């Protein structure tokens, strides 16, 4: 098990692949000590080999298990001298389909990982964040937190919840000097996407496929900023504004025409193809 030895530290959930793994790589390259957590122990082990055992702490973690989360945070604190510069709540799962046609258990699983998991992470990690000057509580929300998206209704709802929680905590945690912020990624080319979605995505526009390293770079930028919401790509902020100002118009655009509707249709078609 590695030790921070005075280095800044980041605790990352969902670190075995995609945005979490790229964030681990980026911060390691910046000289940080990395705590990497995921359900996928095999891919965590390859990440450890890449970063070097002295530079990281890897551990299998189910973010829905509060007691295990608390234990993971305690182990991390023991390796960092009781510090945590960034808590990155990134773990998430997706499940697509019409709400009434999805097994209800699948919907609950999305809620437990994407929202309860975030609550577990922040509640477990706030002690170390409070003990670390300039610390940041950072969470992965989603472009689907701009407007509720058909075909991923429950996933979208959890990401709205994450966004609202972040806004509230960004105020509450000021009394500790802890910042809170989130990232709202669009179509990120990671394993969470059904097969074929990224390949069929538009080549330009807000729903083009984005490499996960672009999100990792935002986590780095966010550490030195007081910005609340980070959009990847930045054009997604316009959708968020439109959804707030003209929700009925955005509803019709999503339902009938335009690049948003096409992106959703492509995703649903790819999902049906993946189901066989």
Cα–Cα distance measured from residue 122 to residue 93, given in angstroms and rounded to the nearest whole number: 18
> Per the domain annotation, does 1 fall within a domain?
no
- What pLDDT digit, counting tens, does each position of 9-56 carry? 999 999 999 999 999 999 999 999 999 999 999 999 999 999 999 999
The pairing of beta strand 86-89 with beta strand 33-38? unpaired
Q: Which domain holds residue 130?
A: 9-275
Name the residues annotated as catalytic.
141, 155, 159
> Per the domain annotation, does 148 fall within a domain?
yes
> Per the domain annotation, does 146 fall within a domain?
yes
Number of compact structural domains in the chain: 1
CATH number of the domain to which 211 belongs: 3.40.50.720
Cβ within 8 Å of residue 258, ≥6 positions away: none
pLDDT score recorded for residue 256: 78
Tell whether the torsion through CA atoms of 43, 198, 138 and 162 is positive or negative.
negative
> Per the domain annotation, does 2 fall within a domain?
no
- What pLDDT digit, counting tens, does each position of 223-273 carry? 999 999 999 988 888 888 888 888 888 888 888 765 556 655 555 555 444
> Per the domain annotation, does 149 fall within a domain?
yes
> Per the domain annotation, does 4 fall within a domain?
no
> Per the domain annotation, does 23 fall within a domain?
yes
């Amino acid at each position: 098990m590695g030790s921070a030895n005075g280095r800044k530290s980041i605790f990352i959930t969902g670190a075995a692949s995609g945005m979490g793994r790229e964030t681990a790589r980026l911060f390691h390259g910046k000289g940080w000590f990395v705590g990497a957590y995921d359900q996928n122990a095999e891919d965590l082990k390859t990440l450890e080999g890449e970063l070097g055992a002295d530079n990281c702490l890897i551990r299998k973690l189910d973010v829905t298990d509060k007691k295990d989360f608390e234990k993971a945070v305690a182990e991390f604190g023991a390796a960092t001298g009781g510090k945590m510069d960034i808590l990155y709540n990134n773990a998430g799962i997706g499940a697509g389909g019409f709400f009434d046609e999805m097994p209800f258990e699948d919907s609950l699983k999305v809620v437990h990982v994407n929202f309860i998991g975030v609550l577990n992470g922040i509640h477990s990690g706030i002690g170390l964040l409070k003990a670390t000057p300039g610390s940041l509580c950072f969470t992965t929300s989603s472009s689907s937190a701009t407007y509720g998206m058909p075909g991923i209704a429950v996933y979208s709802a959890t990401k709205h919840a994450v966004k609202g929680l972040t806004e509230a905590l960004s105020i509450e945690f000021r009394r500790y000097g802890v910042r809170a912020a989130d990232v709202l990624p669009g179509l990120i080319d990671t394993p969470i996407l059904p097969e074929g979605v990224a390949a069929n995505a538009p080549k330009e526009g807000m729903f083009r496929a984005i490499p996960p390293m672009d999100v990792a770079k935002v986590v780095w930028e966010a550490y030195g900023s007081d910005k609340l919401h980070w959009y990847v790509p930045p054009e997604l902020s316009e959708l968020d504004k439109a959804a707030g100002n003209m929700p009925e118009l955005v509803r019709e655009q999503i339902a009938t025409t335009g690049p948003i509707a096409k992106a959703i249709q492509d995703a649903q078609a790819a999902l049906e193809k993946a189901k066989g």
